[in-house]
Amino acid sequence: MTLSNKSLIKMTAVLIFLIVFTAYLYISPKPVKESHYLSEFLNIRTFTEVTADTDTGCQTNYHCCADTTDCAPGSCSCFSACGPAFPQRCSNGCCAVTSTTSTSTTSTTTTSTTSTTSTTSTSTTSTTTTIDSSAPKYSLNSTNSTLSGITVQHRLNWTDNIGLSGYIFSFDNCTGALLNNSWASFSGITWSNVTKKTNSTVDCTIRWCVYANDTSNNWNRTSCNNPFSYLTTRSFLEVSLSAPTPNVLTKILQYSNFQVRASVTCRGGPCGIVNGTTRYNASSSNPDTLLNSTKLSCGNMNENDICLLNWTANATGNLGVYWKVDVNVSSSDSSILQNSTDDALIKISSPRLMVTLSNPNPSICAVSHPCNWVKNSAYSVRSTVECSDGPCGIVNGTTRYNASSSDPDTLLNSTKLSCGNMNENDICLLNWTANATGNLGVYWKVDVNVSSSFSNVSSNDTSDAIIEIATSPNIIISGMALYYYTGERVNGNVTVVPLENPNNKETSVVTNGEWYVDFDMGTSNIQHYTVIVDDNQKMGYNEIKTSTSVESELNCSTQDISLSGYSIDVNSGASMNSGDLKISILDTDYTNTTTFSGSWSASIHPCLIPGKIYTLQILITDKTGKRGEFLQKYPAK
């Protein structure tokens, strides 16, 4: 911390008076009877103060006056001291300037007379005295420190048009009163530098000023009209954490060593012997416990000294635990406050491999509804691998099925695929081609297993997809899924539901918009198929109708449908607080009517054919006759 002194400088206009004393003598010629020369002289006496006192006690260029009337007006006061500001005391009076003098000259007039002519000569002599009335001027006020309880130098530079004499330093050490030093001579220098020990109290106000005079006893008192001042400060310690990075989450492997590094700087003055410790929050929300028991020392630090501290710590916490880590420093000087760094956030972790199976999808190819693989046909097995919580090393993957046990244990494809070296947040895509060589009617559990070259990274495998080895399908339905507004291709899942036999639905993957679903079932009574595409955020519907020789009757099931919402007047933007609500299912004769107050809600229970897509019509009417309509697609379950 650096405090700068500000000074208020008053400019004083100084006038130098040139006083000219001129004596004139006029001589008129007188008639004389004989020829002769007449000389007359005018003498101007040199003025010098005459005193009855000695000059004991007067400074240079001053002498003692007998009383106040013997002094030049306004330049002397007979108080406890002599001079205009704080002059010295004479033995019996005041001090007067000795340098004020007049110069003696002689004027001569000569008259010459002859019998025939008359000549008169006249000469004039003047006396000039210059009085110095310009006081010294100051600048460059400064101090070499603002610390409390130490010796501080107070500096002021002076100039004068004739010559500097001396100065009186005045100091207020946080007491509220300025106390004067004795007069001191400049002794050939121009700085009035005075050293004082400051008050040991921090944040108290020090004031100081200087009176100065020149060799003509002109005094400058202006700095004391508005003294210079500063607040006392104390030395302090700056400390910053360079590792781990503060205010950033750093993942540290469980039981591994890591470095804690900090930089310490002494500011404002001497800081004494400085020690540091590193801590973490073992029992509270802030660091409170030594992370490393070693207290490191910077030794004795002076202003602007820099010290680097380095510890080795071990991440002994439980997996998933978060630590706040800092460095705290303190001084042997009790007046210097201890300080600590910002916290670094540490997570005790272990690198993990996360792997998901995207095809066949375990959420689709489940025990309740296995996916069919046609015997001796080739299928794609795809998975996504991600490295989490640290470096994962070289990662390899294999695809398996349960050839000899209840869980996958045998390579479905003998090729081991590699992701290479994976670091935190790296993602890898693996893709195999597998052949359905099993017997008809056999069920496989298919997964992907990944492992690392790092011993501290555990292997992992996906959830199982359930596959049934089946005969060739007699129905294959394929299509393209696009986003309605943009035309972009969809990635997600597709489910096709035969309405006449909804339990025989099939689900497959939509890749880059393309999809297909195959069925192995009788088709004599199947006429309607509902296609549902889902990308986990949006859902799309379509219907397919086939022509057969025989149309079968479809059975409906009771649905539980809950609807709610609110209505707004398009013109005013105000909410419709009450009215009538009518819900109809188009293509059926189902209608439900009710009233509402405030927001509206309704529960309806129509009988609908599972898998078929219906259109719900919601009609709102208020008491003024205003109407609003809303249509919503609904796939029956």
Q: What is the pLDDT of residues 19-30, one digit of tens each?
A: 333 333 333 344
Which residue, among 485, 609, 484, 488, has the nearest Cα to 552 in the 3D structure? Answer: 609
pLDDT computed for residue 31 by the predictor: 42
Residue 452's Cβ-side half-sphere holds a number of Cα atoms within 13 Å equal to 24
**C-beta neighbour count of 215 within 10 angstroms:** 19
* Spatial distance between the Cα atoms of 252 and 351, rounded to a whole number of angstroms: 9
| Residues 276, 574: Cα–Cα separation, whole Å | 66
Task: Outline which parts of the chain fall under CATH 2.60.40.1930.
Answer: 137-231
Q: Which residue has the higher pLDDT, 382 or 485?
A: 382
Instruction: Measure the CA–CA gap between 595 and 346, rounded to whole angstroms.
Output: 58
Closest C-alpha to 540, from 493, 595, 605: 493
* Of residues 631 and 396, more confidently modeled: 396
Q: Report the mean per-residue pLDDT for the chain.
A: 80
Higher-pLDDT residue of 557, 195 = 195
With a cut of 60, say whether residue 473 has pLDDT above it: yes
The pLDDT of residue 466 is above 90? yes
The fold for domain 137-231 equals Immunoglobulin-like (2.60.40)
Average pLDDT in the 531-536 region? 89
- Give the CATH number of domain 475-545: 2.60.40
pLDDT at res. 513:
86
Q: Are 365 and 493 in contact (CB under 8 A)?
A: no
Q: Is the pLDDT of residue 460 over 90?
A: yes
In CATH, the number for domain 557-635 is 2.60.40
Query: What is the model's pLDDT at position 536?
Result: 82
In sequence order, which residues have a C-beta less than 8 Å from that of residue 383 and are 6 or more positions away? 355, 356, 357, 358, 397, 399, 429, 430, 431, 448, 450, 462
DSSP state of 233: B
pLDDT of 239 over the 70 cut = yes
pLDDT mean over 599-603? 85
Taking residues 27-40, report their average pLDDT. Answer: 37
pLDDT band at 44 (very low <50, low <70, confident <90, very high): very low
Determine the topology of domain 361-466 in CATH: Immunoglobulin-like (2.60.40)
For domain 236-349, the CATH class is mainly beta
pLDDT tops 80 at residue 36: no
pLDDT in tens, 63-81: 454 444 444 344 443 333 3
Every domain range in the chain assigned CATH 2.60.40.10 = 236-349
pLDDT value of residue 172: 97
Does 12 score more than 80 pLDDT? Answer: no
Residue 519 has pLDDT above 80, yes or no: no
Q: Who wins on pLDDT, 218 or 472?
A: 218
Query: Rounded distance, CA 204 to CA 229, Å?
Result: 10
Measure Cα distances from 464 to 87, 401, 409, 454 in Å. Answer: 107, 9, 12, 25
Structural tokens at position 249 = 């989450």
Confidence of residue 533 (pLDDT cuts 50, 70, 90): very high
State the pTM of this model: 0.44
User: Per-residue confidence at 552, pLDDT binned at 50, 70, 90?
Assistant: low
Least confident window among 5-9, 253-257, 529-533, 552-556 = 5-9
More confident position, 600 or 414: 414
pLDDT at 129 exceeding the cut of 80:
no
* Residue 465: per-residue pLDDT: 96
**One-letter amino acid of 207:** R
Mean pLDDT of 349-358: 92
In terms of phi and psi (left: phi > 0; alpha: psi -120 to 50; beta: otherwise), the region of 215 is alpha
The pLDDT of 533-537, averaged and rounded, is 87
The residues, ordered by sequence, that sit 6+ positions from 485 with a Cβ below 8 Å of its Cβ are: none
User: Residue type at 325?
Assistant: V
pLDDT band at residue 547, thresholds of 50, 70 and 90?
Answer: low
pLDDT of 114 above 50: no
